[in-house]
Amino acid sequence: MTTTAVATPVVQFVDVQKAFGGNKVLVDVSLDVRPGFTGLIGPNGAGKTTCLNVVSGYLQPDAGDVRLAGQSVLGRAPMEVARMGVSRTFQTPRLIPNLSAVENVMVGGSRHYRHGHLAELLGLPSARRDERVQRERAYALLEELGLDHPDRAANAFPVGSQKIIEVARALLNDPVLLLLDEPAAGLGAEDVDRLVNGLNAWTARNPEAAVMIIEHDLELISRLCPTAAVLHFGRIITSGAPKDVLRDPVVVEAYLGADVAAGD
Ligand SMILES: Nc1ncnc2c1ncn2[C@@H]1O[C@H](COP(=O)(O)OP(=O)(O)OP(=O)(O)O)[C@@H](O)[C@H]1O
Ligand SMILES: [Mg+2]
């Protein structure tokens, strides 16, 4: 009998449960995420953002486990999880309004380049060199993702562009797991193309990294993701190739039901 070695998933959700009061938001969520893009889709309120929050240390699950390369992230603060190689963006961008786009990217820092705060405070050459390298990388990432005017203040950009700045900030950390919460919301078609090209270029250079992407733009999910998982009322109801998943009657029903409930 031959066996094929299957690498440990980059991240594993194991029977994760989360409730807010009586509202059961995640119900026994189990999912293995491997290198490359994985889509996380589902109607409004399905629990998608909560999934990202339990991986990135922003929320602790009530039960179950979340493992990064086999190691549990439970009980760790967001900063600690970030140092393990998890970077994220937020559904509503969280930038420092008066700093430029490129400076906001640099705030993310990189877990690989830091010589420590003391070196920075003392203005040591190692810290200055780090800063120069980080600045160049930040410009390059913004260009690759299609953001023009990187020296402009963050609050001068529309929300869609602010999301791109967050993606660049997340990438500067050299993540092994990148979590994107609706990165294309508010972007025009041309900017979506630039974002897709930038993300594809980054994953081509980082083939070991996994990207979990939440999007309501299902065409974008189909373009980027070989696999998509569908959350509905806190349960993963199916996962597979987007073209199959989106034809699944249970998924169609979930989306149509949500539209009817929302009065669309
Ligand atoms: N911190 C919180 N406290 C209380 N309830 C919360 C909290 N975070 C999320 N919820 C609730 O959990 C449910 C799932 O929210 P979540 O943000 O994960 O959904 P989502 O799938 O990301 O939705 P959307 O597509 O609208 O962003 C919702 O009913 C929401 O109101
Ligand atoms: Mg959300």
For residue 108, is it within any domain?
no
Residues 6+ apart with CB under 8 A from 148: none
Q: Which among 25, 70, 68 is positioned nearest to 48, based on CA atoms?
A: 25
Amino acid making up residue 114? R
From the CA of 46, the nearest ligand is 1
Ligand 1 atom showing the smallest separation from residue 50 Cα:
18
Helix (H, G, I), strand (E, B) or coil at 50: helix
pLDDT along the chain (264 residues), means of 10: 66 97 96 97 95 97 97 95 94 92 85 60 72 92 96 95 96 96 92 94 96 94 95 95 92 74 46
CATH number at residue 254: 3.40.50.300
Helix (H, G, I), strand (E, B) or coil at 247: coil
For residue 165, is it within any domain?
no
Overall number of domains in the chain? 1
Ligand 1 atom showing the smallest separation from residue 53 Cα:
18
CB 91 less than 6 A from any atom of ligand 1: yes
Ligand 1 atom showing the smallest separation from residue 21 Cα:
4
For residue 46, is it within any domain?
yes
Give dist(CA 58, CA 171) in Å, integer.
19
Question: Cα(44) to centroid of ligand 1, in Å?
Answer: 8
- Answer whether 84's CB lies under 8 Å from 68's CB: yes
Domain holding 257, by residue range, is 11-85+175-262
Task: Report pLDDT for 128.
Answer: 77
For residue 53, is it within any domain?
yes
For residue 192, is it within any domain?
yes
- Answer whether 58's CB lies under 8 Å from 67's CB: no
Residues 6+ apart with CB under 8 A from 240: 227, 228
Task: Report pLDDT for 264.
Answer: 46
For residue 188, is it within any domain?
yes
For the chain, state the CA radius of gyration.
19
For residue 112, is it within any domain?
no
